[in-house]
Amino acid sequence: MTEAFDVVDIIRTKRDGGTLSVAEIDWVVDAYTRGVVADEQMSALAMAIFLRGMDRGEIARWTAAMIASGERMDFSGLSRPTADKHSTGGVGDKITLPLAPLVAVFDVAVPQLSGRGLGHTGGTLDKLEAIPGWRADLDNDAILRQLEDIGAVICAAGTGLAPADKKLYALRDTTGTVEAIPLIASSIMSKKIAEGTGSLVLDVKVGSGAFMKDIDAARELARTMVALGTDAGVRTTALLTDMSTPLGLTAGNGLEVRESVEVLAGGGPADVVELTVALAREMLDAAGRTDADPRAALADGRAMDVWRRMISAQGGDPDAPLPTAKETETITAQEDGVLTRLDAYAVGVCAWRLGAGRARQGDAVQAAAGVELHAKPGDRVTAGQPLLTMHTDTPERFDRARQALEGGIDIGASDEGVRAGEVVLEKIAG
């Protein structure tokens, strides 16, 4: 077969700051998926995109080409509207777990096709697999049946959705191009558009524990993704949310499930509840349920009822005890004062090193490993008071996990300078 383009010419065009044509983009994504373009060539193109960027038309076409590499799901036959949420990843970010059943209370279907963690950010599927019997893999028919019957599903995305993205994502992770905004945006939105949801709310994290460390980069990513969704006919909004401190009081798989159940029972940490309710309101508004009261549905048990049905439908036992770690070690305050900083990235790496995360795709994770926080910034502490407890089944991990926290915890004489702002920083609409 004679190929339409020479990939080296395409690499040179982007390297020199040029704009790729529709035909060039369609060809290079398809040729890479087919194996005609080699990994080292796509690596060079990804780095050129990272350094030179893409305009809105290029990003839209790149996203469309990624979608065209696989199948598209169709939820139009459901008896209720669909709404989905995507988070760019953070530490202690368990929001999907209470959010999906909460939104489903109001007769909105939530097709939450989720992923696994890599590095310091936790994966939704890893968390749920801490529940005995729960399974992540469902075929398309099972997804549709569960959405019609229960209203919410959290499961793995099928291999047929945007296979070009799966291949390119693995390459970006090993070539220093993960942070390229055109590639992040097209990766996320190709899967979400192919998924077929009617509306989408993006939770774009900002801060040390996020991929976007500063608000300007996060804002650019959010605007890019909102534009992609809007152009594709998906009603899309984004919230920029704080990830300088871990969300809630836990980071780790089984620990975060336990905390999510507390939220569904009407309790839980205030920041987790605040973000869950804020995202639920955005999703419900996008689906036309403007008079819904998600906070009430957490308080009165309706969201918990949907959670239990959702977990049971995927083979899980919502009443089974969650795994507990064989070993724990507690970090205490070294002095009296106010906890002024608890760095999200430091806590995330600590949990990762304890066994809650993976260094490479396919690595196993420990269901019970992670970090439990006993104080948050702004809290007054005394010398010897527990600040956090590390959990693991492999105590030889404690030394390196402890090292991750060095420089990540500050105690001051007063709470001056402690930012007690809202979890939601900004909203970006289409």
> Active-site residue 165, yes or no?
yes
Distance CA(41)–CA(36), nearest Å, equals: 10
Determine phi and psi for 327, rounding to 5 degrees.
-135, 145
Neighbours of 12 (CB within 10 A): 14
> Active-site residue 244, yes or no?
no
Q: Are strands 327-332 and 370-373 parallel, antiparallel or unpaired?
A: unpaired
Distance CA(20)–CA(42), nearest Å, equals: 14
Q: Of 127, 166, 172, 219, which is the active-site residue? A: 172
- CB-CB contact of 430 with 229 (8 Å): yes
> Active-site residue 216, yes or no?
no
Q: Of 85, 120, 127, 191, which is the active-site residue? A: 191
The three-state secondary structure class of 273 is: helix
Q: Of 187, 190, 199, 208, which is the active-site residue? A: 187
Q: Of 26, 93, 165, 343, which is the active-site residue? A: 165
DSSP state of 118: B
Q: What SS3 string covers 43-58?
A: HHHHHHHHHHCCCHHH
**What percentage of the chain's residues is helix, strand, coil (to nearest 5)?**
45, 15, 40
Q: Of 80, 85, 86, 205, which is the active-site residue? A: 86
> Active-site residue 192, yes or no?
no
> Active-site residue 166, yes or no?
no
15 membership: H or E segment, kind and range: helix 7-15
Question: Which sequence positions are flagged as catalytic?
Answer: 86, 165, 172, 187, 191
